[in-house]
Amino acid sequence: MGRSYLSVRMRIKRHKVFLVCLLGICVISFLHYYTALHSISLLQELSSPSSHLKTLKMLRGFFWNFPTDDIHFKQNGQKSSHQKGFVDLPDLPDAKQVVTNLHLQKQIFDLHDDSTPFFIHTEPGAVCFHEGTDLAALASHGRLLKHYEERTPLKDDSINAGKKEIRCPCRQGWHGPQCGIPTVVYHSNLPSKSKVTPRKVPRRVINAININHEFDLLHTRFHELADVVDTFLVCESNFTAYGDARPLYFQHLILNGTFDYIKHKILYIFLDHFPDGGRMDGWIADDYLRTYLTKNGMARIQGLKPDDVFILNDADEIPSRDGILFLKLYDGWTEPVGIHLRKSLYGFFWRQYGTLNVLSACTAAMLFKVYKGDGIYLRRRSYYTMSGFREYENSTGRVLVPWAIGSPVHYAGWHCSWCFKPEGIYYKLVSAQNGDFPRWGDYGEKRKMSYIKELIRTGGWFDGSEPDYPPTDPKEHMYAPKYLLDNYDKYHYLLENPYAKK
């Protein structure tokens, strides 16, 4: 009895030791796997040595060292075959890759109040917008006022009356009593612009975009808006707008550290399916991207407030910072909000006449009460026919008329179409949706590198036309976003026509 009891206990003990060891091995290998995933580039880690080399070569080939000669295509003329064409995109992300990035897909973003001291409270009791105020003038102004008050003591009520008249001395480009109204709002058609008031706590700003391969413009957006946008919702699909397979380039770049400077503000959204009917009618696919981006993205934000600002852009639409900062810091503007964008093609050098005024912003309250939480409705101009609109307008206590930041002669951002190197234009051609006819990617001769370069050189369009452009100068006001101008050599191809004959 005793002996068998003992041996049972020993056996249990041995089992225990074995289990503990097993558990230890599990933990260690899990940790090892986990850190490996985080520190090593995803592609390097997950691909087998041979396919890894191939994938990397193809990725690099596509992204960076694209051959400059004409592309030769397989001659079977099938729509689907040219998708792979020469560019031979990397293989689909496999199941393993999807699993490893669950944390990106499930990530929740917590919105917090921005405690940046945007305004200063002056001694005479005025509130001035820090950046827009001439601080030296303010200091001497304050001294004068104090001096005056000491010599002619005022009664309490007249001091209060005096306070209202104190205006901050504004720097060039800033207006209003607090110097917080930028020129693009001052010259806009905002009916209530004389009645706007600075907020005590800034609104949180959410900027949502879909991304394909506009990575230079993405860096530009992030730098332009980094200090005014609280979170960027960035959606990427493993399908092109045409319905073909597409590698998750952006995910790769997030994981390999390319966006570390802004990663804390990015909410990554992965669209893993293609909408029904999207292949027949490309507009369905186009709309669906925005719907999914908004719905999935907004559902993963915590701490959203009704007066937060939602801005939906295409990847090639970059609002300038000052106008967005105004939305963040002021009360009293109406919605929906459009933005007048400077239009250009292939780079900033082919500027087009006029502006593109796109409805792009509204409050979170309006997004949900009027637009049903679907960003696609914001981009259309039919808000007043939407069922929730009258009720929502009533609840705000004011007449909601749309207005736009900027004006036809005051750019409040940039719309840079087809702003890529030739290889990027090629990729945009073949991944374009089926519906924006004619679909130039279907014509072999229009996909040739020499043809694409000639378009960039002349500012011509795929239909053979050569529009009339006004002259431009990189030194002109609002020529291009600051980040690009600050990195002129790196982004030279967007700032000066690379093929112009000197």
Exactly one of 24, 67, 125, 257 binds ligand NAG (CB under 6 A); that residue is 257
CA of 138: how far to CAs of 46, 117, 284, in Å? 60, 17, 55
When binding is defined by CB under 6 A, the residue of 192, 256, 291, 296 that contacts ligand NAG is 256
Q: Which tokens hold the place of 169?
A: 């001395």
- In angstroms, give the least distance from the CB of 257 to ligand NAG: 4
Q: Which pairing describes strands 109-110 and 317-319: parallel, antiparallel, or unpaired?
A: unpaired
Q: By CB under 6 A, name the one of 98, 135, 226, 401 that touches ligand NAG.
A: 98
Does position 268 interact with ligand NAG (CB under 6 A)? The reply is: no
Q: How far apart are CA 319 and CA 290, in angstroms?
A: 18
Binding residues with ligand NAG: total (CB under 6 A): 15
Specify the length of the chain in residues.
502
Stretch of residues binding ligand NAG (CB under 6 A), selected from 182-190, 216-224, 251-259, 488-496? 251-259
Contact at 8 Å (CB) between 255 and 41?
A: yes
Using alpha carbons, select from 213, 292, 221 the residue that is nearest to residue 250.
213
> Which residue number, 390 or 398, has a Cβ lying nearer to ligand NAG?
390
3-state secondary structure of 361: strand
CB 81 within 8 A of CB 74: yes
Binders of ligand NAG among 392-421, rule CB under 6 A? Answer: 394
Report the nearest approach of ligand NAG to the CB of residue 395 (Å).
Answer: 7
Mark residues 356-395: x for contact with ligand NAG by CB under 6 A, - for none. ----------------------------------xx--x-
Instruction: Work out which of 111, 245, 401, 478 binds ligand NAG, going by CB under 6 A.
Output: 245
Nearest distance in Å: CB 327, ligand NAG: 26
Q: Which stretch binds ligand NAG (CB under 6 A): 120-128, 238-246, 352-360, 362-370?
A: 238-246
Q: Which is nearer to ligand NAG, 352 or 487 (CB)?
A: 487
Q: Classify residue 91 by its DSSP letter.
A: P
Query: Cβ distance 166 to 122 under 8 Å?
Result: yes
Nearer to ligand NAG, 138 or 255 (CB): 255
Per CB under 6 A, 272 contacts ligand NAG: yes
Which residue type, as a one-letter code, is found at position 390? R
- Nearest approach, Cβ of residue 279 and ligand NAG (Å): 12
Identify any residues that bridge with 341 across adjacent strands, giving them in sequence order: 356
Sole binder of ligand NAG in the list 253, 356, 386, 401 (CB under 6 A): 253
Say how many CA atoms lie within 13 Å of 416 toward its Cβ. Answer: 31
The C-alpha R_g of the chain, in whole angstroms, comes to: 28
Tell me which residues in 55-94 interact with ligand NAG (CB under 6 A).
59, 63, 92
Cβ atoms within 10 Å of 270's Cβ, excluding its own: 20
Q: Rule CB under 6 A: say whether 113 interacts with ligand NAG.
A: no
- Give the one residue of 109, 174, 215, 239 binding ligand NAG; rule: CB under 6 A: 239
Task: Provide the minimum distance between the beta carbon of 107 and ligand NAG in the complex, in angstroms, as a whole number.
Answer: 17
The least distance separating ligand NAG from the CB of residue 99, rounded to whole angstroms, comes to: 9
Nearer to ligand NAG among residue 14 and residue 390 (C-beta): 390
Cα 170 to chain centroid, rounded: 30
Strands (E) across 291-336 are located at 301-302, 309-313, 317-319, 330-331
Nearer to ligand NAG, 164 or 273 (CB): 273
CB contact at 8 A, 449 and 70: yes
SS3 content of the chain, % helix, strand, coil (to 5): 45, 15, 40
Give 96 or 167: the residue with its C-beta nearer to ligand NAG. Answer: 96
**x/- letters, 13..52, toward ligand NAG (CB under 6 A):** ----------------------------------------
CB atoms within 10 A of CB 100: 19
CA–CA gap between residue 349 and residue 496 (Å, rounded): 6
Contact residues: ligand NAG, CB under 6 A: 59, 63, 92, 98, 238-239, 245, 253, 256-258, 272, 390-391, 394
